[in-house]
């Protein structure tokens, strides 16, 4: 059997990309597949090439995951795009996106785009945030969709994976995807509403390029961690906190005795910006914050 990947699902139409042929076919689900649940973009399939146009789908492999927004199966990576200027950086949004996507089991890559536009102050800010996220343990890439700086590094990072792009509008998600894949996009296009006020189901496509796939619809542009998880769980998604062993294993890194995260904060090993966002995200307060972080 030949392996393929569903790159488009629009109504009854299924498009299967077959890497070994570097070609797309119309997917035809065979009887036993048809009865099973829906087919999604991102589904890995096995089957036969029937003719130059058609691929008979015999098996849909078990999904690793299924994202709702955008509806794509087997997403491995999310590129969270931000800018320092034009528009200004929102670290609270960034940290929420990082927490929620790692909670959803995706690998995260931070991209600071539009570096060609930065003035002197902007360049310093970029370096500051770059270091903060690097030290926290994230993969961070600086790019310009305009000058193509960093695009190769980003391309390497996405190799072999199904990825989506997330982040606020205007930061350059569609521009980056176009530069990476050579395809113009409809991303950024807000889903239209039907007369009854319901969102029309948007079709999602995966764009294949050099053994990788990128979803052509954006992920979250804003999220709140507490809509996804309990307050007590948020701490597990700040990777830099996990390096420390507090006296109590259920330490929330607030006012507990023997909290090593607080000690690390005092020593400057953990960034105050990140910690303040942790407090804001969990709607907590600590009386010693000013003393340690100002
Ligand atoms: P999206 O809403 O995140 O998809 O952002 P777009 O890709 O639509 O980009 C928003 C605007 O920023 C467009 O006018 C792009 O041409 C511009 N833009 C995107 N990336 C860059 C960049 O790296 N440098 C500069 N100077 N402009 C960029
Ligand atoms: Zn602690």
Residue 195, pLDDT > 70, answer no
Q: For ligand 1, what atom is nearest to the CA of residue 187?
A: 4
Q: Which residues of 191-201 are buried (b: 16+ CB within 10 A; e: fewer)?
A: eeeeeeeeeee
pLDDT at 35: 64
State the architecture of 230-293 in CATH terms. Orthogonal Bundle (1.10)
Q: Is the beta carbon of 150 within 6 A of some atom in ligand 1? A: no
Nearest CA to ligand 1 atom 18: 172
Mean pLDDT of all residues belonging to the chain = 92
pLDDT (average), residues 242-249:
98
Q: Known binder of ligand: residue 183?
A: no
Which residue, judged by its Cα, is nearest atom 24 of ligand 1? 114
Verify whether ligand 1 is closer than 6 Å to residue 113 (CB atom).
yes
pLDDT at 184: 78
| Reported confidence tier of residue 74, pLDDT bands at 50, 70, 90 | very high
Start-end of CATH 2.40.50.140 domains in the chain: 2-60
Higher pLDDT, 201 or 132: 132
CA 50 and chain centroid, separation: 36
Tell me the three state secondary structure of residue 121.
helix
198-229, pLDDT tens digit by residue? 444 567 899 998 889 999 999 999 999 999 99
Q: In this predicted model, what pLDDT tens digit does every residue of 84-117 receive, in sequence order?
A: 999 999 999 999 999 999 999 999 999 999 999 9
Alpha carbon 142 to its chain's center: 16
Question: Class of the 77-216 domain?
Answer: alpha beta
Please give the Cα distance from 38 to 48 (Å, whole number): 20
Tokens of residue 261, six digits: 């995260």
- Judged by average pLDDT, the poorest of 31-45, 94-108, 257-271 is 31-45
ipTM over 0.95: yes
114 pocket-lining for ligand 1 (C-beta < 6 Å): yes
Q: How far is CA 74 from the centre of its chain?
A: 12
Reading phi first (left if > 0) and then psi (alpha if -120 to 50, else beta), residue 44 is in beta
Segment 229-239 shows an average pLDDT of 98
What pLDDT sits at residue 176? 97
Distance CA 106, CA 287 (A): 34
Which residue spans of the chain are classified as CATH 3.40.50.300? Answer: 77-216
Domain(s) labelled CATH 1.10.40.50 in the chain stretch across: 230-293
Place of tokens 């305009």: 146
Which residue puts its alpha carbon closest to atom 10 of ligand 1? 170
Report the atom number in ligand 1 closest to the C-alpha of 169.
Answer: 2
Question: Which residue blocks in 20-150 are alpha helix, DSSP H?
Answer: 31-35, 91-103, 120-136
Instruction: Return the minimum-mean-pLDDT range out of 6-10, 188-192, 220-224.
Output: 188-192
pLDDT at 36: 61
CA of 96 to the centre of ligand 2 (A): 20
Q: Which of the ligands is closest to the CA of residue 85?
A: 1
Query: What is the per-residue pLDDT for 37?
Result: 63
Higher-pLDDT residue of 169, 188: 169
Shortest-distance Cα residue to atom 12 of ligand 1: 172
Closest ligand relative to 83 C-alpha: 1
The ligand 1 atom at the shortest distance from the C-alpha of residue 86 is 12
Check if CATH label 3.40.190.10 holds for domain 2-60: no
pLDDT for the residue numbered 265: 97
Res 185: pLDDT: 72
């Amino acid at each position: 059997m030949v392996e393929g990947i569903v790159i488009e699902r629009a109504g009854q139409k299924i498009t299967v990309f077959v890497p070994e042929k570097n070609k797309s076919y119309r997917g035809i689900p065979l009887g036993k597949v048809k009865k099973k649940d829906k087919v999604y973009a991102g589904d890995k399939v096995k089957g036969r090439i029937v003719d130059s146009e058609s691929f008979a789908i015999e098996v849909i492999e078990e999904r690793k995951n299924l994202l709702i927004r955008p509806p794509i199966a087997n997403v491995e990576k999310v590129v969270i795009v931000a800018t320092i200027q034009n528009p200004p950086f929102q670290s609270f949004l960034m940290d929420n996106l990082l927490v929620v996507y790692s909670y959803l089991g995706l690998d995260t890559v931070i991209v600071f785009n539009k570096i060609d536009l930065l003035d002197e102050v902007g360049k310093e800010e970029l370096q500051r945030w770059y270091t903060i996220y690097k030290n926290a343990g994230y993969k961070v890439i600086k790019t310009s969709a305009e000058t193509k700086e960093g695009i190769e590094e980003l391309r390497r990072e996405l190799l072999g994976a199904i990825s989506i792009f997330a982040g606020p509008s205007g930061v350059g998600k569609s521009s980056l995807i176009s530069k990476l894949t050579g395809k113009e996009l409809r991303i950024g296009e807000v889903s239209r509403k039907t007369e009854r006020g319901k969102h029309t189901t948007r079709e999602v496509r995966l764009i294949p390029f050099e053994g990788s796939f990128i979803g052509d619809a954006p992920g979250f542009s804003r999220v709140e961690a507490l809509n996804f998880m309990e307050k007590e769980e948020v701490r597990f998604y700040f990777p830099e906190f996990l390096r420390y062993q507090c006296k109590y294993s259920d330490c929330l890194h607030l006012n507990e005795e023997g909290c090593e995260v607080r000690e690390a904060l005092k020593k400057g090993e953990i960034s105050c910006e990140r910690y303040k966002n942790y407090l804001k995200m969990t709607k907590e307060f600590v009386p010693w914050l000013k003393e340690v972080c100002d």
